[in-house]
Structure 1
Amino acid sequence: MSNVTPIYHRADELSSENSDKGGRTSPPSDHASPVGRQQLHDHHQQQQPHHFQRAHRAPGELELGVTEILEGRADAQRKVAATSGLSEWKGRHVWESNRPEWVSALVAEFFGTLFYCIAGEMATASYVLTTYAGNPQGNLTMIGFAYALGICFSIVVCATTSGGHFNPCITIAQIVFKGFPVRKAPAYIGAQLLGGFVASLIVIAIWHHELVEVTELLRSKGEAAVVFSASGPAGTIALFPTAGRSMGSIFANEFFADMLLSLVIWANLDGSNPFTGPQVAPYTIGLAYGVIVWGFSSANVATNTARDLGSRFACGVLWGQDCFPAKYSALTALTNIPATLVGVSIYTFFLSDTRRPPASTGETIPQ
């Protein structure tokens, strides 16, 4: 079988001879009249504006879609049909050339934090509220995976744009250990807090009827305190202290969870670490969050000021000031900052070495 080399056409060069609408259109016969060819061309121009078309898929080419990730890879000798439409719209390129750099970074921090928070909170709300309805759906394992995959997807989608902090303590650690500009920190942290707040508002909006119903049920039974617990409706949004646990034990739980998490994060930022790299870091960090949920949630664990404060303010919108238990609120919002700095210090000064060569990321297969 002979090899066929795909021929690509610019979108504005398309004509009736190569349309992708309804499959490949055969070129008009050489014996067709000039008038007939012109009418066919005019018809296609009216039906399919050229600037939103692309060439047809040539023999051997992959269709547009998920297969686009193969384009340009040295280890995957595949061709993907050329794109057009809004992806190649001139206005997009004008916008990219003129938008302020900080806009995209803050949007990425906002959505990265939102994605991580909404994944875990939706899973928690689903489990808690369906349990009250007598048909429990989910468990702690499901919630842990929800947070794990939420942070994984946040990194994959948003990290290339902003650096993927999604957590005020990571932004602070980046300032201290990596030289991240201090002037950018307030905006980054503000975007993270807003992301956590909006994520929680979305969860409240989706489950509003059930949250109000369970709240009224508990209060009618004289169990108002349960509303503001890990098993209560407010606890699906914000964090509350576990009954019977002292503040000291809650602090220790939060501190060591955050310290261990920071070690995993910083190990993935170490270019000389041969056991990780750009393609596995999102999953490694995501699983670390899952492990923290599975192992440390008996006393509740925040790990993230944006997740804690953002959700707490959203909780306050529906349930009021009871969402802000004084000592506990300060503990969950602030403990992760010194814990992260301790964990990063341990990795930087004891577990890494500037004399190590950069780890190989794999051999490049020649074209």
Structure 2
Amino acid sequence: MNTSHHPVAIIGAGLGGLTAARVLHVHGIEAAVFDLEAGPEARTQGGMLDIHAQDGQKALHAAGLHDGFREIIHEGGQAMRLVGPDGTVHIATEDDGHGERPEVDRGELRDLLLNSLPDGTIRWGRKATGARPLGDGRHEVAFADGSAITTDLLIGADGAWSRVRPLVSAARPAYTGISFVETDLYEADTRHPRGAALVGGGFFISLGDGRGFLAHRETDGSLHVYTALRADEDWIDTIDFTDHATAKAAVLARFEHWDGGLRSLVADAETITPRRIHALPVGHRWDRVPGVTLLGDAAHLMSPFAGEGANLAMFDGAELASAVAAHPGDTEAALTAYEAALFPRSAASAAESAAGLETMFGEDGLERMTAFFTQGPAEA
């Protein structure tokens, strides 16, 4: 087995892992990042993200990339519409350019981070298959290609099904009861004017009877849509998603009496992809294990209904890297400080996400979300 040693190893080149590597680099600390994808262009990186002032943007400031972030903001992306199943618009707000949650394309944000790192920082095509302790805080990580690394500081930034997490926790993500079916409608204004007019220029929500549509206007003019519904965990397995016509019919059967414009977000789509929504237990934490820690979804996978996943991952990465820089030569002090703040922060956001799921996909989800946007969140 070909084995190399890296003082700091980050498993996962998502937004959190890249932010950690970048902030370490800012402080003069070299890190090696290992990712299962073949390269930076191996797949599309998903839709729009709203980057929050209190966490995601703080991480970008720590990374020295906030000016670059401002250059890729999707102007108009903070507009929002909330619509009922009959197509009636209940809330409509415009983007005045002063909101604290500007929208960016996930792929462009990832590129900003990738391009800020020294050449060779990312080792592509390295799918982690397991990790084990070697003693004295050191760990070994094995990869599917037969290679392995050893490291003094192992950072698990490898997402929901993390191969690093078992070193610190036996917890596994559980199905939340919500399934997504993602669709894309390209060149929306010209090819899909009905859907484009309905969604508008920013974020779009339609809710009712435990289901709904969540959509974004992308920077390329396409619509990226998440059709969401309460469903048994095996519901997706009953549908042949390789046959788009059959899959669309199965999804639309759950929206039989909804407005035709809303149904067109599935019926007229060029792509269709299923995804179950999983989450770790709210308040997930672990005892301090020498030489290893987690960030992002590996640490606190939650449903997307508070909009905090990417923001927290980036903030985790920045906070962890800053703690390492603040405790030179004392990894355990750095990880203790990082985790002391990580656990309550992630627990609060996970609870908010779980509550958001129940709000949006309850029987009165439309009414409760209308109240939220007009009156603010209810007092606990």
TM-score where L is the length of structure 2: 0.20
The structure whose Rg is larger is: 1
- Higher percent of residues as helix: 1
- Higher percent of residues as strand: 2
TM-score where L is the length of structure 1: 0.21
